[in-house]
Amino acid sequence: MDEKIEFKPFLEQPQALHAEKRYKKPSGLRKQLGLLLLMAMTAFSLFSTWSCGQTQSTKVDKNVVVGAYLKAMETNNIEEWLKKYTSTPQTAGTNFPMVQWCRDKLEQYGFEATIDEYEIYMSYPNSSALSLLTNDSVVYEAPLVEDVLEDDPDTSGDDLVPTYLGYGGNGNVTADYIYCNYGSMADFAKLEKLGVSVKGKIAIMRYGGIFRGLKVKFAQDRGAVGAILYSDPGDDFGITPANGYKTYPDGPARNPSAVQRGSVQFLSFLPGDPTTPGYASKPGVPRSDPFYSTPRIPVLPLSYRDVTPILEKLNGYGPNVDEVIPAEEDTSSDKFTGELPGYDYSIGPNPEATLNLYSNQIFNITPLWNIYGEILGENQDEVIIIGNHHDSWIKGGAGDPHSGSAVLLELARGLDEVIRTTGWKPKRTIMLASWDGEEMGLLGSTEFGEYLADKLQRKVIAYFNLDVATIGPNLEASASPLLHELFRSTLAKLEYPKGGSLYEHFKAFTGDRITNLGSGSDYTVFQEHLGIPSIDMGFISAKGDPIYQYHSNYDSYHWMEKFADPGFTYHNLMSKLLGLLVIEISESDMIKFKLEDYSSSLEEYYEDAISGIPSKWLEQEVSLMNMHVINGLFANRVSSGEFTIPRYLQTCPQMAEFGSVPTSHHHKNTTFGDLLGSASNSLKQLSNTTLLFDDKVLLVQDQLNHWDELSLIQKIKVHFTAKKYNAKLKYIERAFLHYDGLDERSWFRHIVFAAGRYTGYAGQTFPGLREAIEDDDFDRAVKWLYIISQTAKKVNFNLSV
């Protein structure tokens, strides 16, 4: 730890996320006068355009816009962008020239571009060592470097990034070690059942299953003094040398020396700068202790080649967990046994073998830079943000993040070409964002979201995320259900290179399943902290495809060009898909959200969540104490924030009101079962309402499509209805925020979507309720049921009027 930094204990910090500001409703009379004035003005403007017969004259038809964009994509510039981006290391906060290059590129494409700086707590690698000792003498020293490959320039040079785990603690420990499988809660539970403790030992865990930082957290919580994470060939879908596959660069299998770097932040507890929970890391802000969301123990990542001599020493010591836990008692699908050649998966420890693990990183508070480019739309109160990060773990980073960086530039180029060739002005404002520090903990996007929370919540319609945009030929996506229909209908408009439509491919590959957002990329702050509907998508590798050399030197330009996307066909397809999605959501008069997809998903998640409720709860009465806990939960709050850029964020519309509805007080003998029924009924009613609402929106859109045929009175009516419905659509996701946040991780405020607390990457639906059930906590379950029920009621009420 750098001694210059002074931290205050976490709990003493002002938490901006609890800052509250109730917005004032205009008084009834003022509201009516305002409305009359507005109607008169609108009538006048509608009349003047109407009387001149020019209503649509400044508008470029959406099909023309789409055509011009697809025409621009007939040129494929991915190779150029990817070569540039993979030419130098881009560890967060270290490569300002590349940041300027990206800003200049956006400017060149006609975007108003800015660089936004934050001061963020970071760790950088300094030195590390790992040795194996038997009877106190060193028998093996792990090299901790990856092989230089002649074919691949990104693997050599004096600018290679060391193998390390961001935010890992500093230390030099010598201890026994044991194998803890994936390091999940279930794995540690099995070890505990067998009476094996990791206390005072070094935990060796393989990558996979859950987010790496949580593995370290779970080991540290159980007293481990250090941790090692390695890539096991058993997690390579059979693409292994044992099965006859050659390793990179000669074939599709993982290079044996490949090391997965990464952050060990406790992602599902707090993303963003660990020292500024819930508020932005701008100069001079108070800082708190980072250990709420980062480990204290030293950790190192290893290749499977380097871990082999270490794990081999455990052969025959301690049980093989899969052999001693009878299959019928094994509730977890994760077997302990992997496929590391030479290791029998005995967990250890070997009393004669110890490890010396030394890791030193330099911690400091340092500038990080986001880059934004914007095109102002006709309506500057409605903004679409498309983002991808620019920092990487290595010199190359062709897949992560630069497949996304390259596609983002293609989007900029395409939109520019549309504007230049057709004179188009987008209906809504379009903002491109290139985030810094995603790899260390979603830093740039989270700080931005915290800095501008209030304004973003008032203006942003949707957020589109790219990260690993293309590392194979298979499309997958995670999204808010509001965006499902938009996504599917856009896929249907594109062709898949191997035949059929992109939608047909997607159905075949995923079973038409768009998954829920969890965490692990920059959409997190938008969806789960601010309630802005988001989508994350990418072409991934699947069973049978070349193994993704994730966060290793071999995620390089050479690997991408030779194995993952020769000819950059799928990068090009992603550029088309992204552009069409942006155009569709920008140009549709009525915001393209399908509410019924949301409500039917809610019913599904709810049924699933309550299936775990213990039957003994059903008859249990909900006491006054429970009611006290939930009293006053429904203030209509938005967080505050000061800001000057960008321009279109300076004035803000008022959020549509999704305030509380008058609630009926519960009678004395309300049982938990009654509450369950009531929540379920509210969700069913919501489904009925959304179905009707979607129809009403379609009708308005249809009228807008036939604008010229409407009378002036009809025009006025349709104009106001469209405005009213769009406001409801725009803010509906916000209505699902609970501003006090989830229990014990209050940064996460969405009542439906959060990163799983024990998984990190994988999403959890109705997290508050599920966690209460998991923890066998009746009072909390009551609280969350009530929140769910009331939220459904208020949304239902607001959509019905």
Ligand X SMILES: *[C@@H]1O[C@H](CO)[C@@H](O)[C@H](O)[C@H]1NC(C)=O
Catalytic positions, written as ranges: 438, 664, 750
Binding of ligand X by 797 (CB under 6 A): no
Q: DSSP secondary structure string, 524-569?
A: HIIIIIS---EEEEEEE--TTSPPP-TTSTTSSHHHIIIII-GGGH
Q: How far is the CB of 675 from ligand X (least distance, A)?
A: 16
Binding of ligand X by 317 (CB under 6 A): no
Which of the ranges 27-35, 127-135, 510-518, 694-702 carries the binding residues for ligand X, by CB under 6 A? 127-135
- Please measure the distance between the N-terminal and C-terminal CA atoms of the chain and give it in whole angstroms: 57
Task: Give whole-number Cα distances, 85 to 99, 403, 557, in Å.
Answer: 10, 9, 9
Nearer to ligand X, 54 or 127 (CB): 127
Report whether the peptide linkage leading into residue 252 is cis, meaning its omega lies within 30 degrees of zero. no
Q: DSSP secondary structure string, 197-214?
A: --TTSEEEEES-SS-HHH
The one among 362, 633, 704, 716 contacting ligand X by CB under 6 A: 362
Q: How far is the CB of 349 from ligand X (least distance, A)?
A: 14
Binding of ligand X by 358 (CB under 6 A): yes
Binding of ligand X by 127 (CB under 6 A): yes
- Alpha-carbon gap, residue 154 to 586, rounded angstroms: 39
Nearer to ligand X, 474 or 689 (CB): 689
Nearer to ligand X, 124 or 248 (CB): 124
Tell me, what amino acid is at 674?
D
Rg (CA), the chain: 27
φ and ψ of 203, to 5 deg: -95, 125
Q: How far is the CB of 605 from ligand X (least distance, A)?
A: 18
Binding of ligand X by 135 (CB under 6 A): yes
Nearer to ligand X, 32 or 134 (CB): 134
Q: How far is the CB of 690 from ligand X (least distance, A)?
A: 11
Which of the ranges 383-391, 433-441, 466-474, 683-691 carries the binding residues for ligand X, by CB under 6 A? 683-691
Provide the token pair at 162. Answer: 């060391």
Nearer to ligand X, 166 or 278 (CB): 166
Which of the ranges 48-56, 126-134, 395-403, 623-631 carries the binding residues for ligand X, by CB under 6 A? 126-134
- Beta bridge partners, 172, equal 358
Q: How far is the CB of 407 from ligand X (least distance, A)?
A: 38
Nearer to ligand X, 174 or 332 (CB): 174
Which candidate, 415, 735, 724, 423, places its Cα nearest to that of 590?
724
Q: How far is the CB of 796 from ligand X (least distance, A)?
A: 9
Binding of ligand X by 1 (CB under 6 A): no
Q: How many residues bind to ligand X according to rule CB under 6 A?
A: 15
Q: How far is the CB of 316 from ligand X (least distance, A)?
A: 13
Q: How far is the CB of 689 from ligand X (least distance, A)?
A: 8
Helices assigned H by DSSP within 543-658: 557-559, 569-587, 595-610, 624-630
- Beta bridge partners, 755, equal 763
Residue 298 DSSP one-character state: -
Binding of ligand X by 133 (CB under 6 A): no
663 CB neighbour count, 10 Å cutoff = 12
Which of the ranges 9-17, 28-36, 208-216, 358-366 carries the binding residues for ligand X, by CB under 6 A? 358-366
Which candidate, 440, 439, 456, places its Cα nearest to that of 385?
456
Which of the ranges 7-15, 353-361, 384-392, 547-555 carries the binding residues for ligand X, by CB under 6 A? 353-361
150 CB neighbour count, 10 Å cutoff = 8
CA angle 402, 407, 412 (to 5 degrees): 125
Q: How far is the CB of 133 from ligand X (least distance, A)?
A: 9
Binding of ligand X by 681 (CB under 6 A): yes
Provide the token pair at 28. Answer: 């009834």
Binding of ligand X by 360 (CB under 6 A): yes
Q: How far is the CB of 373 from ligand X (least distance, A)?
A: 37
Which candidate, 635, 632, 454, places its Cα nearest to that of 531?
454
Which of the ranges 11-19, 287-295, 357-365, 373-381 carries the binding residues for ligand X, by CB under 6 A? 357-365
- Alpha-carbon gap, residue 20 to 18, rounded angstroms: 6
Binding of ligand X by 685 (CB under 6 A): yes
- Alpha-carbon gap, residue 593 to 694, rounded angstroms: 9
Binding of ligand X by 695 (CB under 6 A): no
Binding of ligand X by 197 (CB under 6 A): no
- Alpha-carbon gap, residue 430 to 80, rounded angstroms: 24
Nearer to ligand X, 352 or 619 (CB): 352
Helices assigned H by DSSP within 299-385: 304-312, 321-324
The one among 54, 58, 126, 515 contacting ligand X by CB under 6 A: 126
Tell me, what amino acid is at 677?
G
- Alpha-carbon gap, residue 777 to 772, rounded angstroms: 5
Which candidate, 464, 572, 597, places its Cα nearest to that of 527?
464
The one among 238, 684, 721, 743 contacting ligand X by CB under 6 A: 684
Nearer to ligand X, 654 or 663 (CB): 663
The one among 63, 100, 651, 688 contacting ligand X by CB under 6 A: 688
Residue 751 and residue 787 in contact, taking contact as beta carbons nearer than 8 Å:
yes
Provide the token pair at 137. Answer: 């003498």
Nearer to ligand X, 49 or 360 (CB): 360
Residue 278 and residue 739 in contact, taking contact as beta carbons nearer than 8 Å:
no
User: How would you classify the pairing of strands 112-134 and 137-141?
Assistant: antiparallel
- Tokens 């992603």 correspond to 574
Binding of ligand X by 654 (CB under 6 A): no
Which of the ranges 234-242, 373-381, 679-687, 779-787 carries the binding residues for ligand X, by CB under 6 A? 679-687
Q: Interface residues for ligand X in 323-352 (CB under 6 A)?
A: 352
- Dihedral over Cα of 410, 416, 420, 424: its sign: positive
Which of the ranges 30-38, 184-192, 203-211, 684-692 carries the binding residues for ligand X, by CB under 6 A? 684-692
Residue 180 and residue 347 in contact, taking contact as beta carbons nearer than 8 Å:
yes
Nearer to ligand X, 317 or 707 (CB): 317
Binding of ligand X by 705 (CB under 6 A): no
Binding of ligand X by 800 (CB under 6 A): no
Q: How far is the CB of 367 from ligand X (least distance, A)?
A: 19
The one among 87, 88, 156, 174 contacting ligand X by CB under 6 A: 174
Tell me, what amino acid is at 634?
F
Tell me, what amino acid is at 713?
I
Nearer to ligand X, 325 or 683 (CB): 683
The one among 45, 63, 134, 654 contacting ligand X by CB under 6 A: 134
Nearer to ligand X, 100 or 688 (CB): 688
Q: How far is the CB of 19 from ligand X (least distance, A)?
A: 37
Residues that bind ligand X (CB under 6 A): 126-127, 134-135, 172, 174, 352, 356, 358, 360, 362, 681, 684-685, 688
